[in-house]
A and B are shown apart, each in its own frame.
Chain A
Amino acid sequence: MNTHTDSLYLRPLTAHEAVRMAGEHLNDHRYLAGGTDLLVNRFQGNDATPCLIDLSGIEALHQVTVTDQWLRIGALVRLNDLMTDPAVHAEFPGLQVAAHAVGSPMIRRTATLGGNLLCENRCSFYNQSEWWRDAVGRCLKCDGDICIATGGRKACFSKLSSDTAPMLIALDAQLEVAVPGDMITMPVRDLYTGDGMAPFALPPAALVQAVMLPLGRGFRTAFRKLRRREAVDFSSLTTAVSVDAAGKVRIVVGAVDPGPVVVEGTAADNRADLIRKAFKKARVIDNDTFPRTYRKEMITVFLERCFAEIDATTNN
C-alpha cells in the first residue's frame, strides 16, 4: 500500500547527484529509468521500495555519441529513439532489431536501453500479484523457501528478460557505471550473475550511465525472439549471434536461463558444436508460456537460422 507518508520521489539532474541520492537511501532506493518494468513489478507488489530516484531528468544520459573507438549510448536513451538513431543504424543495425523486439511501440517509447538491460528476471510464479504469490506459497524470489516452478529446488531460475542484452553481449559491449566517488567500466556480460535471486552484479548505488559499443569490429549479426504474439510479449527465447571481421563468433541466448548463455568460438569452429554448447548450457525450466522442452529445442533451430541469416548477408 502507498501510505504516501514515507514515499519519496527524487529527480536528480546529474548522474553524480543520482548516485549521491542513492547513497543517502542506500537500502531503500530504486533507480527509475523508463519504469515500464519496475512500475509493473511495484503494481504487483514485488517492489515496495519507498524511495524512487527518477533518472529521466538527467540530460547527459540521453545522448548517443560517437568517438574514435566507441559508439556510446546513454543509458536513458529510449528504445524507440535507438531504433531511429542514424549512428546506431550505421554501425549496429542488429541492436535496432533487438530493441524493436521489446514490448510494444507504447512500451518502447518509454523504456530505455539501460532499463532494458536491468529488466528484472521473470517467472510465471514471480510476476504475479502479492495475493497470488501468497496463494501459491511464495517462491524463493519473494521470500519463500523453494522454487515453485521446479517443484522445490533451492535455486531461482527466473529468466533473463532483456532482449537487448543478448545482442549487446554479442556485440562485445561495455558498460560505463557510476559508483559513489568513481566511474568503472565492465563488459555487459559481467552485469549478469546467472543467479535468478540477484541477477545483477552491481555495487550498491551503482548507476549504469552508458553502453559502449566497439567500433570497427565489422560485426555481422542476427537476432531472433520466440513469443506467441508479434508484439507486447516478453521473450521465451532470444538468440543473438555475431561474427566479427576477425572471425570471432559469439552466440548469446537469453530468456532460457537466469543469465545470458554465452558461447564463443571462431568461424573455423564447427557450428553445430557451438550450438550444442549453448543448448547444453541453458538451464531452461517450465516458467513460461512455452514448455521447457520446446524452448530448449528451439535454441538449436533459432541459432541455426541466425547463422543462416549471417551467411546470407555474407554472400550478398
Chain B
Amino acid sequence: MARIQLTINDREHDLLIGAHDMLSTVIRENAGLKGTKVGCSQGSCGACTVLVNDEPVLACITPAMRCHQARITTIEGLALQGTPHLLQQKFVEKGAIQCGFCTPGMVLTALHHVEQAHDNSVEGIKEALSGNLCRCTGYKKIIEAVAEYAQEVASGNAVPTAEVAEGMVGTARPYLEAARKAQGTATYADDLAPANALHVRFLRSPHPHARILRIDKSAALALPGVRYVATGEELPTPFGVLPISQDETAMAIGKTRYIGEIVAAVAADTEAIANKACSLVQVDYEPIRSFLTMDDSLADTGEHEKIHAHTRGTNNVHKKAELRFGDQAKGLAEAEVVSRMDFTMEGVNHGFTEPHAASAYWDENGLTVTTATQVTHYLHRALAKVLELPLHRVRVIKPTVGGGFGGKSDPFPHEMIVAHLARRTGRPTRTCLSREEVFLTNHGRHPSRMTIQLGADRDGTLKVLDADIVIDGGAYGSFGVVTSYYNGVLLQAPYKLDNFGFVTRRVYTNKPQSGAMRGHGAVNSRFAVESLIDDISHRIGMDPVEMRMKNFLDANTLTVGQYRITSNGSRESIQTVARSSGWGDRRGHLPYGRGLGVGCGFFISGSALPIIRNDLPQSTVHLKVDFDGRVLITSGANDIGQGSDTMLAIIVGEVLGIDMERLFVLGADTLLTPVDLGSYSSRVTFMAGNAAKDAAEQLRAAIADAVAARHDVPQAELVFAGARVHSNDRRVDLSWEEAIEALTAGRGAVSVSGKYISPKLGGDFKGAGAGLSPSYSFGACVAEVEVDPRTGHVKVMDVWGAHDCGKALNPMAVEGQLEGSWHMGIGQALSEEMRYHEGLLVNNNFLDYRIPTTLDTPTIHTHIIETMDPEGPFGAKECGEGALHPVIPAIANAIYDAVGVRVTKLPIHAEHVLALIKAKAAQNEPIPQMP
C-alpha cells in the first residue's frame, strides 16, 4: 500500500491506495466520486478523462501515485455553488447529451481545449475531441455545444441559458436528466453498487466447443477473501429472451459453446482476489469439433456432436424462416432486368460506452437487482425462472443506462449470477464487465451472407425480389428467430412488390451469440437491396432517386405480406435529401474519385406482438397526482439515453397543459412501475407514449369532472393550458393547484392507469406476425464520398439524412437519434467488424473495434420529416433505429458513383475497394488519374 495526498475538486484527500492503482480507481472507489466513468480501462475511449493540474488526462491509464499532491478536477468539480459551468449548460441546451456516459470526459476535454484558446473552428474542435468516443450523438450536437461555448468565451459575452420555448409537443428540449448527466451526478449501475458488496468475477471458457470433464474449485476456495465459487449446475434452468429459444444457462453445464462463455464465478472481498481466484479454478476440458463458420454449421455434422441437441436437423441450423408471396420464379423470368449479387457482412457490436454492470441483494422483500438493462420486464421474468422464485419476490431496477442499442435487451448470465451469489453468500454482490467481456457477451448484429435477386422492367418498375440469407447466430438463440424473419420480411417495403420471397437460415456457431442491434435484422439486407436498386438504375439509365420515387408504396395501403402502411414519408424523405445534397446537379458529374449515393430505409415502430404471448397491454403507464399538484408518471419503459422518460413527460404535460416542473417520471423499476415490455423494436414512443396519453386523458377527464361539478361549468368547455384549467369564456379560471384541490377534495390522491394495446394486424398465414407493427418509419440518405483509387481508402465527406418520424415530439431528441443512427451506420459501413481467430474474438477492445471518432464522422445534415401518424401519440412514431438503414447503402452507392465499383462486403475496407478498382481496370479501361 502507499499513501497519497490528492486535492480533488478543492477537497484534500489523504488516502491509502495500492501503489500501482490507477487514478480512475482511486477517484471512484477511494474518493467515492462516481462522475468519472470507465469505459475501456485502456485509454481508448476517453470516458474517464479528468483534469490533473488543469490538463485532461485519461484517468484509467494514469497511475494515481503520479498525481501525489496534484490538483484534480473531476466533472463534479465544475459546477460553482450549484450553478453548472457554462459549458455544461451548453451541453444540456444543445442536446449534446444522450446516455451521458461519455459526457464527463467529453466536457472536461472540451473545456481544456477552449480554455487553451486553441483552434475553435469545427475542425479544431473535432481534432481536440478525437480521443473521446461517443456512441449516441454522432458528435454533431457536442461540437455545436463546444463551438457556441467557445464563441461566447471569445467574445466575452456569455449568453445566459436559453429558455426552452413554451409548449410541450414539438418543442425542442433537453432531456429531463440532462443537467445531472452533464454534472456527473446521474448514477449508472456500477455507481450504485451497494456498500459491503462482494465483487463477482467470471472464469470464461478458452475453448469454442468442449466438454467440461471436471471443475476443481478447491484452490480458489482456499484463497483468503474468497466467499463463494459457483458453477453451472447450481443454476440449471435455461433462459433466453424469446420463449422459443430458452437455450442458455447462467454458466456452462456439461460443455461450453463459445470462447468466453462463463464456466465458473467467484464472489470475493475485492476484485483482485476474485480475479485471482478465477485463475485458480481448475477446469478439465475435452475439446470437441467446433463449428465456426456458417458453412461449418450448414453442413451435416456427421459423427460430431451438434452445438445444441435440440435442433431438428443433423446440422447446426437453428431456425429456417421462409415466406413467399406471388411467384418469384415467374417474376424473375418476366422482369426485363434482373440484378443478382452475393453479399457478406461481418458482425458488429453495439459499442455502448457503459459496460454491463449489475448488483444484487436479498432482504425481506426477496431479490433486488440493479442493472444496466433495456428490458427490466423480461429480466424480471428470467430471474424468477432461473432463481426459482415467484415473480412477486423479484425486483429489477434500471438506473441511468449508458447506451444500449439492443445490446442490453436480453437477460444476461451475469445478472443471474450476481443474484445467485448474493443469495449464497448473504451479502450484496456487484460486477462490472471489462470491455473485453462486453464484446464476448456480444448479442450484436449477426454476421450475414446473402444472395439477392431483384428484377425490374426497363421503365424502372420493380417486379420481383428474392432473398436467400444465412445469418450467423453464434452459440445461443437470443433474438435470433426474430432476426431471421426481419432479415427477409422487412424487405417488402418501402417499395411495392408483388413477387416477394425470402428464406433465412440462422445457424448456431461456436462464437459469442448474435442478437438484436439497432435496426434489428434488416440493416444488412437493406444494404443489399438498395445496392441492387442502384445497380438496376444504372443499367437502365435511370436516376436512382427517380427509380425509387417510381416504386414507393403509398400511404394507407397494404404490402404484399399484409403490413398495414399508414403514414409514409418515403417520397418526402428522398426528395428532401436529394434537394439538400444538390443531387440533381451533382450526381454523376463529380470528378473521378468523388461520388454521391442514395439509399432508403424502412422499419417497424414497435412490434405489434409481445415476445411472450399474453393478454397484458404492451404498455401501461400510471399517473398519480396528490395535493401538491405534481404529477408522478410511472412507466416500465427503459430510458437508456434515448430520452423516453422525457417523451412521457412531454405527452402528459401536453394533455394536462402543465410544464416540466410539475412532472416527475419514475421509470423501469419492476416493483414501482407498471409493465412496459422494454426498449426494443423501436416501440417506446409509440406504445408507452400512447399509454401515457391515455392515462393523461383519463386524469384530465377526472379533473374536468371535479372542476365541472364544483364550478358548474360544462366539462366540454374546459381548457387545460399554461398550468391553468379554464372555461372558454374564462368565467372559470383556475390555477393548476386549484384544479387539483377540486379533484382531490374528499377523495385524496388520484391515480389513473393508461394502456396501449396494438390493433389486430396482419394476415392469417404462418409467419404473418413477423414484422407487424402498428406503424412504420421511412427515411433516406444521400452520402458523398471521396475514394482514393490508389489505396482504396474511402472518406465520407457529407451525409444528408431525412427520416419520417411521424411527428417530432421533441425535435432535439429526434435529431439526436437520427444523427446517432447515421453515425453508427457509418461505423458499420467503414470501420467496424468483429474479427475472429478460430472462434476467439480478436478485436475485443475500443482500440481495435473501431467506432468512428470525431475525425471519421462527416458533416451530417439532419432533416426531420413529419407525416402525422394516425395512431401514434400526437402523430409520432419511431426514430431511433430505422434511420440507420439508408446510410450504409448510400455510402456504397456513392463509391460506385465515385469509382465505378460495386461493394458487396461490409465493412467496406480499403483493401476490398482497391481490389475491386484493380479488377475493373484489368477488365477494361485504365484508372483515370486523380487531379
B131 touching A103, Cβ below 8 Å: yes
The stretch that binds B, out of A125-133, A202-210, A261-269, A276-284, is: A125-133
Q: What's the Cα separation between A254 and B18 when bound, in Å?
A: 37
CA distance A136 to B837 in the complex (A): 8
**Contact A124–B842 (Cβ < 8 Å):** yes
Pick the contact of A106: B132, B843, B909 (CB < 8 A): B132
Is A109 part of the contact surface with B, judged by Cβ < 8 Å?
Answer: yes
Tell me whether A153 is interfacial, beta carbon within 8 Å: no
Interface stretch (choices A63-71, A176-184, A290-298) = A290-298
Cβ contact within 8 Å between A290 and B63: no
B22 at the interface (CB under 8 A from A): yes
A40-B850 in contact given A106-B56, A301-B790 (Cβ < 8 Å): no
Interface of chain B residues 916 through 930 with chain A (CB within 8 A): none
Whether B61 and A2, one on each chain, are in contact in the complex, defined by CB atoms closer than 8 angstroms, is no
A105 to B49, CA, bound (A): 12
Question: Are A294 and B66 in contact (CB-based, < 8 A)?
Answer: no
A231 to B853, CA, bound (A): 7
Chain B CB within 8 A of A255 CB: no
In the complex the two chains form, is B844's CB within 8 Å of A294's CB? no
Residue on B nearest A124 in the bound complex, by CB = B842
Interface residues on A, range: 35 or more
Select from chain A the residue with minimum beta-carbon distance to B827. A229
The answer to whether the Cβ of A310 comes within 8 Å of any Cβ in the partner chain is: no
A104 contacts chain B at the CB level, 8 A cutoff: yes
- The CA of A301 and the CA of B791, in the complex, are separated in Å by 8
0/1 per residue, A94-134, Cβ < 8 Å to B? 00000000011111011000000000000011001101101
Chain A residues, Cβ within 8 Å of B1: 4
> A105-B127, A106-B56 are known contacts. Are A39 and B63 too (CB-CB below 8 A)?
yes
Is there an interface contact between A107 and B837, defined as CB atoms closer than 8 Å?
no
A56 within 8 A of B: yes
B195 in contact (CB, < 8 A): no
B66:A109 contact, CB within 8 angstroms:
no
**In the bound complex, CA of A181 to CA of B20 (Å):** 29
Q: Which of B39-47, B360-368, B415-423, B689-697 contacts A (4 or more CB under 8 A)?
A: B39-47
Q: By the criterion CB–CB under 8 Å, are B850 and A233 in contact? A: yes
Contact A2 B840 (CB under 8 A): no
Q: Mark B767-783, 1 if CB is under 8 A from A, else 0.
A: 00000000000000000
Interface presence of B213 (CB below 8 A): no
Beta-carbon contacts of B206-233 to A below 8 Å, as 1s and 0s?
1100000000000000000000000000
A32 B63 Cβ-Cβ under 8 A: yes
Please measure, in the bound complex, the distance between the C-alpha atom of A106 and the C-alpha atom of B856, giving whole angstroms.
16
In angstroms, Cα B562 to Cα A108, docked, is 57
Residues in A whose Cβ lies below 8 Å from that of B337:
none
**Are B914 and A35 in contact, CB atoms less than 8 angstroms apart?**
no
What residue of chain B has the Cβ atom nearest to residue A56's Cβ?
A: B66
- Given A9-B2, A43-B41, decide whether A232 and B131 contact each other with a Cβ distance below 8 A: yes
A8 touches B19 (CB 8 A): yes
Indicate if the CB atoms of A232 and B911 lie closer than 8 Å: no
- Bound-state CA distance A39–B835 (Å) is 25
Closest to A110 in B: B57
B44 and A125 contacting across the interface, CB-CB below 8 Å:
no
State whether the Cβ of A89 lies closer than 8 Å to any Cβ in chain B: no
> Are A135 and B57 in contact, CB atoms less than 8 angstroms apart?
no
| 5 more A-B residue pairs beyond the given contacts A40-B61, A104-B130, A104-B132, with a C-beta to C-beta distance below 8 A | A128-B842, A232-B850, A233-B850, A290-B910, A293-B911
- Could you give 27 example pairs across A and B, Cβ below 8 Å? A1-B272, A1-B275, A36-B43, A39-B61, A39-B63, A42-B20, A52-B20, A104-B46, A104-B130, A105-B129, A106-B56, A106-B57, A106-B58, A109-B55, A110-B62, A129-B434, A129-B436, A131-B204, A131-B206, A135-B207, A136-B837, A228-B830, A228-B909, A229-B853, A230-B856, A232-B131, A289-B850
Q: Which 9 pairs of residues, A with B, have the shortest CB-CB distance?
A: A104-B131, A106-B131, A135-B206, A231-B130, A230-B855, A294-B911, A7-B19, A9-B19, A39-B61
